[in-house]
Amino acid sequence: MFRLASEKSSVPLISMMLFALAPVSAWSGTGLDFGDAPAPYPTTLVQNGARHLVADDGLPRFGEAVDIEEEGAPSENFDGDDLLGSDDEGGVFFPLPLARGTEGLVVFDPRTAATGGSVSIWIDYSGDGIWQEPAESVVSAYATGGDRLEFARFPVPVDARLGPVAVRARIFAGAGTLRPTGFVVTGEVEDLTAVVEAQRPDLGVALASGAVRVRGHAFDVDLVLTVENLGNVRLERLELELDGLEWFGASSGITVLGIGSSSLPFNTEYDGVENLHLVWDGSLAPGSQGTVELSLRISPPAGVFHFVGQARAVAHGPAGQVVSDFSQRGSEADPDGDGSALDDDEPTDIVVVRVLEVPVLDGLGLGLFALLLGALGWHLRRVRDHASAG
């Protein structure tokens, strides 16, 4: 006899009672799917662990497949049912670690029949071996109706346990709210882990220069500035500045030919002299980046052909943490790939190569030039004849 939980659920109680009284063969399905979270999580039958009667068509489910077990398979690596049967994991995942006090993201791949289904997900933030606290229900009765990736965002408590945390995800062909335990007709349960980290705000900046175009005593140059969120939390109040006089010299003339960005709120009043902010009040999600394209005309002092400079970015984390970085030459803020841009701050240099200008002669000039060449030739012949006679 199956033990019925006393906790509330919108899944019809009659279904649970009938299943407790009837063998699996009395239902239209191929067998049961259990979870594999380790003890003390409720995984086995005697614990009233989460279990689903797998429909003949295997729907609804997470991902490509759902397997059948006779009993829950608790395992430290959350892979017990995979070791006993086929690997049916992968339909639920977290693309990024979860950061305390921020918004988390979970992605799932529901495969459903035409009638759709409902998804519920729990995370054991306290690490007490059960999923019972209100904050641990991160997705509740999420209605899904198609074979496409879905995602949900949820708050991560500021006191969440750091490191790996246990996750249980369930899908069934209904519209109600599930619990993390008990029997449900149709569907699948997946047990997995997520990782909780402390807040780690960080950013990096890269500054790349394009080809230099000489315009008389001035030159034009195109710059691309890239700001990347290298941390695990959203960055707000992002500022990006570039001091043109510091780069090209206090006596240089600076004209902004164009500025633009499709990903950051750029400052149309930037002039590189008094208004140095390229970006005001921007924001970046973890792992994302934004670029600003800037075109300048520089009129440098005479005889100066080499210029070295950097941009600087400042932003704030969720708890008010201030992070900043000086730019790295090129298009990558973290070219060594160590996850931090603090050791990547090589300045960007611009070298102006001027081509010797040859004057253009008109008709009269060409005639005089020809006479000069003729006179020079006559003189050279006289010198040669005199040397031969001597």
How far apart (Å, rounded) are the C-alpha atoms in residues 364 and 15?
107
Out of 161, 177, 197, a domain closes at 197
Handedness of CA 277, 278, 282, 283 (dihedral sign): negative
In this structure, is residue 327 part of a structural domain?
A: yes
Q: Could you give the CA distance from residue 99 to residue 300 in angstroms, rounded to a whole number?
A: 48
- CATH number for 297: 2.60.40.10
Q: Do the domain assignments include residue 366?
A: no
169 within a domain of the structure (yes/no)? yes
User: Are 35 and 61 members of one domain?
Assistant: yes
Gap between the Cα atoms of 12 and 303, Å rounded: 85
315 and 176 assigned to the same domain? no
C-alpha–C-alpha distance, residues 190 and 166, integer Å: 11
Same domain? 21 vs 79: yes
Strands 277-284 and 328-329, by their bridges, are unpaired
Same domain, 166 and 217: no
Are residue 109 and residue 20 in the same domain, yes or no? Answer: yes
pTM of the model: 0.72
pLDDT of residue 12: 40
Question: Are 325 and 181 members of one domain?
Answer: no
Query: Is 365 strand, coil or helix?
Result: helix
Around 104, how many Cα atoms within 13 Å sit in the side-chain half-sphere? 29
The token pair at 125 is: 């933030």
Phi, psi of 377 (to 5 degrees): -65, -40
Query: For position 386, what pLDDT does the model report?
Result: 65
Q: Kindly provide the b/e burial profile for residues 82-121, where b requires at least 16 CB atoms within 10 angstroms of the residue's own CB.
A: bebeeebbebbbbeeebbbbbebebebbbbbeeeebbbbb
Could you tell me which residues come within 8 angstroms of residue 206 by beta carbon, excluding any fewer than 6 positions away? 225, 226, 228, 327, 328, 329, 330, 331, 332, 333
Number of domains the chain is built from: 2
Report if residue 376 sits inside a domain.
Answer: no
Q: Is residue 374 part of a domain?
A: no
Distance of CA 385 to the CA centre of its chain: 83
Residue carrying the six token digits 């369930």: 170
Q: What is the extent of the structural domain holding 59?
A: 13-197
**242 near 266, Cβ under 8 Å?**
no
CA angle 50, 52, 54 (to 5 degrees): 155
Residue 27's domain is classified under what CATH number? 2.60.40.2950
SS (H, E, C) 291-312: EEEEEEEEECCCCCCEEEECCE
Of 197, 223, 257, the residue that ends a domain is 197
What is d(CA 189, CA 274) in angstroms, rounded to the nearest whole number?
Answer: 60
212 & 290 share domain:
yes
Q: Tell me, yes or no, whether 25 and 171 share the same domain.
A: yes
Which sign, positive or negative, has the C-alpha torsion 77, 78, 82, 85? positive
Tokens 């807040």 -> residue: 199
Residue tagged 């950097």 (tokens): 310
* Bridge partners, residue 118, by sequence: 143, 172
- Alpha helices for the chain (secondary structure H): 13-21, 80-84, 244-248, 363-389
Q: Convert 264-277 into a string of H (helix), E (strand) and C (coil).
A: CCECCCCCCCCCCE
HEC assignment per residue over 114-168: CCCEEEEEEECCCCCCCCCCHHHEEEEEEEECCCCCEEEEEECCCCCCCEEEEEE
Q: Do 282 and 134 fall within a single domain? A: no
Q: 269 and 247, same structural domain?
A: yes
81 and 39 together in one domain? yes
**Do residues 48 and 77 make contact, with C-beta atoms less than 8 angstroms apart?**
no
Confirm whether 369 is domain-assigned: no
Q: What is the pLDDT of residue 257?
A: 98
Query: Is 379 domain-assigned?
Result: no
Q: Does residue 377 belong to any structural domain of this protein?
A: no
pLDDT tens per residue across all 390 residues of the chain: 223 333 334 444 444 444 443 444 444 567 999 999 999 999 999 999 999 999 999 999 999 989 888 999 999 999 887 666 655 577 999 999 999 999 999 999 999 988 899 999 999 999 999 999 999 999 999 999 877 899 999 999 999 999 999 999 999 998 888 999 999 999 999 999 999 999 999 999 999 999 999 999 999 999 999 999 999 999 999 999 999 999 999 999 999 999 999 999 999 999 999 999 999 999 999 999 999 999 999 999 988 899 999 999 999 999 999 999 999 999 999 999 998 898 999 999 999 986 545 555 566 766 676 677 677 666 666 656 665 665
Q: How far apart are CA 311 and CA 324, in angstroms?
A: 11
Q: Taking every pair of C-alpha atoms in the chain, what is the biggest distance, in angstroms? A: 134
Mark whether 267 and 190 lie in a shared domain.
no
Backbone angles phi, psi at 147, to 5 degrees: -90, 80
Domain ends where: 169, 197, 225? 197
Pair 328, 344: CB distance under 8 Å: yes
**pLDDT score at 231:** 94
